[in-house]
Structure 1
Amino acid sequence: MYAWCAATFVLACAAIGFDSGVSDSVHQAMLSTDPALQALTFLGDGRVLVPSCLLFALGCFFVRRSKTRLPLLALASIVLSSAITQLLKMLIGRPRPYALADTRYTNMTSDALQWFSVNKDFASFPSGHTTAVFSLAWFVITQLPGRRSRVAVFILACVVAFTRVALAKHYVADTLAGAAIGILISQALVDALIFI
């Protein structure tokens, strides 16, 4: 699993600048103002995921005290993977797809990185929503019985990643890197859970 995540991240890094055509095609094919896309993309937002984990932890505390650490570890996975993603966003500074249409950034391409940038227009790589949703999804997948449930959770995470491209917030490589980071951190915490 770790090798797959590392390879995916390296591939995503290598694809910077080459993935804009695919990303533009997805964006053009979708209506970026579609309320369904807006609602689905919000599922990857920390304002949804963090309170969900906290409510789940509270519920576990009252129902089964022994299971309280699972949602707290899921929350830790989201927080840790998101922190790594935010650091990478600032270090790499890839322009967001919508920023390239802005007249302030004329003659800029998707591979014109602004290293060490705190400007949100240059915070495309990796996708934070995708990182967070895959971090939680992978943690849930490792805990769920039944293949159908796990596949459904994985598909939902993929849909959230797709919305980030369709809404011109990210490129395909950004979402691949975000998914790899989320899964990697989540799997590391799941593996650590065995020793706790």
Structure 2
Amino acid sequence: MNVDGQILLWIQNNVRSEMLTPIVLWLTNSIPYAAGLFVVLLFFRKTRKFAIFALSGLAVCLVCNAYVVKPLFARPRPFASVAGLQRIGPMPGGSSFPSSHTTAVFALAWMSVWCRKRYWIAPLFVYACLVAATRLYLGVHYPTDILGGIVVACVLSYLTYKCLSWISKKTVITQ
């Protein structure tokens, strides 16, 4: 068995608990609330540009991940490949690499870096790390799926940032 599978079995045997599982399930499904926060930020002039950049990065990352990157790798989910690993929660769709949840939350976190929003960086990276960890806890992603999601989010959010920065210099998209 590879290291990825061993890590997931260790989490299953040493970290999972009945008390923690409901919290993990809520956290893993909290991404719409995070996106909703950025939609609210659209209504305030001071945060509008950051919200546009963050939501755009989120959308680009999710679309590219779902329709380009995941089909390219088509990696089976760990609960289907690692003997003894039990999945918690609903059956996820699609393939495993990279994690779409991780890509989504790290798109927001990376965009805070690219936009130099220093008060947002730490909270968004903590949130992103917590959501990424839930995917391991639930047994629906390998650790390398998480790392792949972080890299995909970094690259695509940066490209989105550069494109939007160029567009915002040519037009007035933030007012």
Under TM normalisation by the shorter chain, which class is it? Answer: 0.7 to 0.9
Q: 1:38 to 1:120 in 2, by over 3 A?
A: closer
Secondary structure of the structure 1 residue equivalent to 2:118: coil
Partners of 1:159 and 1:97 lie apart in 2 by 19
Q: What is the identity, as a one-letter code, of the residue corresponding to 1:182? A: A
Please identify runs of 4+ aligned residues in structure 1 that moved more than 4 A.
Answer: 119-122
Change (3 A) 1:160 1:55: same
The structural deviation recorded for 1:72 is 1.8
Alignment of 1:136-151 (within 5 A): 136-142=108-114, 143-146=116-119, 149-151=120-122
User: How many aligned residue pairs are there?
Assistant: 155
The alpha carbon displacement at 1:69 in A equals 3.3
CA RMSD in angstroms comes to 2.6
Contact 1:32 1:166 in 2 (8 A): no
Instruction: Give TM-score, length-normalised by structure 1.
Output: 0.67
What SS class does the counterpart of residue 19 from structure 1 fall into? helix
Aligned to 1:182, which of 146, 153, 169?
A: 153
Deviation at 1:91, TM superposition (A): 3.0
Paired AA for residue 187 in structure 1? Y
The reply to whether residue 79 of structure 1 matches residue 50 of structure 2 is no
For 1:91 and 1:27, the matched residues in 2 are separated by 29
* Cα distance change of structure 1 residues 177 and 144 upon mapping to structure 2, 3 Å threshold: same
Q: TM-score, normalised by structure 2?
A: 0.74
1:137·1:154 contact (CA, 8 Å) conserved in 2? yes
Q: Alpha carbons of 1:31 and 1:160: their partners in 2 closer, same or farther (altered >3 Å)?
A: same
CA distance in structure 2 between the aligned counterparts of 1:49 and 1:140, rounded to whole angstroms? 13
Identity %: 28
**Map of 2:76 onto structure 1:** 95
**Partner amino acid, structure 1, of 2:99:** S
2:36 paired residue among 51, 64, 70: 51
Helix, strand or coil for the counterpart of 2:50?
helix
Partner SS for 1:68: helix
* Aligned with residue 41 of structure 1, among 28, 39, 44: 28
Q: Which runs of 5+ in 2 are unaligned?
A: 84-90, 169-175
User: Which sections of structure 1, spanning at least 5 residues, go unmatched?
Assistant: 1-16, 102-106, 108-118
Rounded Cα–Cα distance in structure 2 between residues aligned with 1:144 and 1:156? 15
